Amino acid sequence: MAKFFKYLFVSFLGTLIAVLFFILVGVLILISVTGSSEQVVKENSVLVVSLDGEIADKVSHNPLDQFNPFALSGDQKIGLIDILKAIEKAEQDNNIKGIILKVDYVSAGISTLTEIRDALEDFKASGKFVLSYSDFYTQKAYYLSSVAQKVYMNPEGQVMLQGVSIRTTHFKSALEKLGIKPQIIRHGKYKSAVEIISEDKMSDASRYQMKEMIDDIWSHLKNSIAASRNIQVADIDTWADSLTIRNGKIAKEKGLIDEIKYFDEFLLECKDSMKIAQDADLNSVSLSAYINEMVTEEFSVVTESETQVAVIVAQGNIIPSEGDDESIGSENVSRMIRKARLDKNVRAIVLRVNSGGGSALASEAIWRECKLSAEQKTFVVSMGDAAASGGYYIAAPADYIVAQPTTITGSIGVFGVFFSGVELLNDLGITSDVVTSNANADMGTFARPLNPQEVKVMELGIEDVYQTFTKHVAEGRKKTQPEVDSVGQGRVWTGADALSIGLVDKLGGLKTALKVAIDMEGIADSVYVVKYYPEVLDPFSAIMKGITGNTVSTQVKETLGENYKYYKALVSASKTEGVLAKIPFDIVVE
């Protein structure tokens, strides 16, 4: 017994030391973020916007989330909302004279970059400058950077212009070799999510809709670049087909960049733009430091107001439980929407959706809260890179829907997948036996396929979900169900096409959606506060949340780096069973 208590005490002591260590780390990080009294932005400064990392709609400002105990390094993810707020603040900041845009590789969708691009256009319109520099412009980086008044590049750099592609990875043959058989029930001839396990290549219907989609996206990219750089759209196609832009000299000859300079030479030109001496220091502030200053102000300034607009961010796969920063949990997202609906100070709600879908049941739970909110308050949806399938499901009740031209939306359809591994188990010499109280008590087990009666029940269930889905859309969009079905069947649309068929109301980003909500509610001339959900936690709560956070996910991210997205896809695929509403592909723009 004494030995038992000894081990118990040692275990308790170890846990206590670990907790105290993380609290200490959190406090030190918090002090470093909020404790400095030194002025962050000096007079006559430039804001350096470096975006070489992953951009999500909203990220946690928990100091422990920025700390990886395994690698002693910070998380490189940055929030779109933070970027937009920082650029808007810099526009009004008399100490900020311009922006240096420094982008090489950026992990973000085209719609996300379009929002940043639009914010930079507004910044330029204020009379301040935007200059861009890069050692190597990927296609997405160049699309964003082309908004600058002048584009600079390293003498040995390159501009990548090669077009847009969609690649789907198929597992049919792999599953057959493993002895795993999928049973698929779907509604919608375009509902191609299941093709990754049922086919070895795209179906004709899937290939058709994807070709239409990438042509729209490429057209948007070409037209935006051509307008900013005053070049011909047709020339961009020619250069992409022939991979003409091999080096900086050619890029300059074709008008894609303005100057070939080393970074130190570029900084001298920045000084010229600011009319300061060549031997003087160039005052600058990083985007991260500028954002940290904003967050510190949010901690210290009371934001309660009698007039509020709630912006609720829902990003990631839709799941029937508590979500996190990378998923839309039916419980926590419904709770945030409900909180905003019941708050008498909240006059309007903007739901920011960035999701390719997920669980149909979870989507229904969130839809219900959205519908109740739309019945009581002005309710506007802002669509990000994707708001498709389950993502569109939860957007359907909105009074008004705003999407970017390149947003992936629609995909109004559902499917169900069940896996049986009879052959795999036999090959491994694994057998099973079962005792049941009723004929179908073991329905859905991995040890046997669905029988005809069970398949029929699932088909009826899928049809019921599709009818519910199209009914919700018909009610929300003021259409008939047959009209919704004609643009449904799992068909994916770009935001531009969705506007023409009535699935969205206006093209634009989050700023546009906010303006729509404010105008609809009639509070444009009032003093109002925009309140974001999930809310920014106070420092102590943030530290305590970080202590109980998922360090395993942090370690996986650190280990896999850019390949983390494939890990996420495999995890998602492992949960692909039951009735789902989601899209299956990634759009590659590099």
Positions annotated as catalytic residues are 191, 389
Question: How many whole angstroms separate alpha carbon 475 and alpha carbon 519?
Answer: 23
What is the secondary structure of 270-331 as a DSSP string?
A: HHHHTT--TTS--EEEEHHHHHHHHHHHHHHS----SSEEEEEEEESEEESS---TTEEEHH
Q: Is 92 exposed, middle or buried (0-12, 13-18, 19+ CB in 10 A)?
A: exposed
SS3 per residue for 46-88: EEEEECCCEEECCCCCCHHHHCECCCCECCCCEEHHHHHHHHH
Query: How many whole angstroms separate alpha carbon 113 and alpha carbon 117?
Result: 6
CA–CA distance, 209 with 585 (Å, rounded to integer): 12
Q: Which residue has tokens 């809709």?
A: 209
234-242 long-range contacts, Cβ below 8 Å, gap at least 24? 236/161, 239/161, 240/161, 240/162, 240/163, 241/163
Q: How far apart are CA 391 and CA 314, in angstroms?
A: 9
Are 271 and 277 in contact by the 8 Å Cβ rule? The answer is yes
Q: Nearest Cα to 209, choosing from 500, 479, 401, 497?
A: 497
In whole angstroms, what separates CA 405 from the centre of its chain? Answer: 16
CA 149 to CA 162: how far, in whole Å?
A: 23
Amino acid type, 131: L
CB 90 within 8 A of CB 96: yes
Please give the full DSSP string across 4-48, using - where no structure is assigned: HHHHHHHHHHHHHHHHHHHHHHHHHHHHHHH---S-SS-SSEEEE
Is residue 288 left, alpha or beta, with left meaning phi > 0 and alpha meaning psi from -120 to 50?
A: alpha
Tell me the C-alpha to C-alpha distance, in Å, between residue 333 and each of 61, 360, 380, 467, 575.
Answer: 18, 15, 16, 24, 20
Cα dihedral 252, 256, 262, 264 sign: positive
Cα separation, 318 vs 386, whole angstroms: 13
Pair of tokens at residue 88: 């808007």
- Chain centroid to CA 381: how far? 15
Q: What is the dihedral of CA 150, 151, 153, 159, to 10 degrees?
A: -160
DSSP of 412-442: --EEEEEEE-HHHHHHTT-------SSTTTT
Residue 258's alpha-carbon distances to 153, 231, 466, 568, in angstroms, are 8, 13, 53, 40
Question: 420: which residues sit within 8 A by CB, 6+ positions away?
Answer: 180, 181, 183, 445, 446, 447, 448, 449, 450
Chain centre distance of CA 218: 20
